[in-house]
Amino acid sequence: MKGFFGYYIKCQGNDGTVAIIFGKSEEKNFIQVITEDETFNYEFPTTHIGKDFEMSVGENRVNKNGITMNIEKIFGKIEFGKFTKINGDIMGPFRFLPFMECKHMIISMHHEISGQLTIGGKTYNFDNGIGYIEGDRGKGFPHKYFWSQAHFDGIDISASCAIIPYLGIRFKGTICVVMIDDREYRLATYRGARVKRFDKNGLTIKQGKYKLVIEVLDEKNSLPLQAPTKGKMTRIIHESVKSKVRYIFMRGEETLFDLASDRAAYEFSDLNSNKSNTDCITTTMSSDNRTSS
């Protein structure tokens, strides 16, 4: 295998939010877990990627039915309800372009979840919770990018923007999905979307009569995770699953919603920024499912 492949599984419940990353890069198979307070990183000797949405890393498995974890500090099972899929591939026609640095996938904008996970001694009950799943494949994450995702009652948002290198040029690209009562609104570069603002504090996108404004009000507990560069997990990024973020979606002069969540997922990375790219990660190495100290 050349490059990397991974799924990002976010689970939100009354006891908190947890995101689990199943991944494979050129040099290792891994699972990363981020809670509201800490991150964990495990390596495994084996992995399997199945058709559709199915992946196992060691004895840990995820598919359309749920996720099963069996690691010393992280164990349990979460069941998934019916996925809410978007209309077609989020990459649009860009999915056919060769040599793209990173290709994104949205597996489910929202679905019901139930079950429990114990992580580092704390048990999270996800009964009547909500989930979100996306994925990435390619050689590396963009040099600079913004990403945020949130759930509200009847509303789901996933938005990203990046500086994308392609065949010697760089362009600002965006792919965003807003769902209101399962009706999809797609804002994307390939549909004529224009980025009006793109920095660590927010993102503004205009497409025809539609406008999406994202304002990061409070970046809480942005924690380090490993990310791919040239197919290997050598980059450190920072993500929060409990930031306070405001989302405004407009159609002309009409405001379709203006909402803020203190449980939003948020990530911003810029290799030219002053933030350290070598922060420490809570790392636990594993040759099977038993961790070494």
Residue 252: inside a domain: yes
Cβ proximity of 63 and 50 under 8 Å: yes
Question: For position 291, what pLDDT does the model report?
Answer: 36
pLDDT given for residue 168 in this prediction? 73
Instruction: Evaluate if residue 278 carries a pLDDT over 60.
Output: no
d(CA 280, CA 71): 21
Q: Residue 254 in 3-state DSSP? A: strand
Structure confidence by residue, pLDDT tens digits, 143-195:
999 999 999 999 999 999 999 887 777 889 999 999 999 999 999 999 999 99
Amino acid 284: pLDDT: 52
Structure confidence at residue 78 as a pLDDT band (50, 70, 90): very high
Q: Is residue 260 part of a domain?
A: yes
Q: Which residues, other chains included, contact 264 with Cβ-Cβ below 8 Å and sequence gap of 6+?
A: 148, 149, 150, 242, 243, 244, 245
Local confidence band at 97 (pLDDT 50, 70, 90 cut-offs): confident
Q: Identify how many contiguous H helices and E strands the chain contains and give both numbers.
A: 0, 22
How many domains is the chain built from?
1
Higher pLDDT, 293 or 68: 68
Is residue 281 one of the residues assigned to a domain? Answer: no
Query: pTM for this one?
Result: 0.93
- Beta-sheet pairing, 144-152 with 66-70: unpaired
Distance of CA 98 to the CA centre of its chain: 23
| 284 in any annotated domain | no
- Cβ neighbours of residue 131 closer than 8 Å, sequence gap 6 or more: 9, 10, 11, 12, 78, 80, 108, 110, 111, 112, 113
Q: State yes or no: pLDDT of 281 exceeds 60.
A: no
Residue 286 lies in a domain: no
Q: Is residue 87 part of a domain?
A: yes
pLDDT in tens, 230-266: 999 999 999 999 999 999 999 999 999 999 999 999 9
- With a cut of 70, say whether residue 274 has pLDDT above it: no
In a domain, 292, yes or no: no
Question: Which domain covers residue 257, as residue numbers?
Answer: 4-270
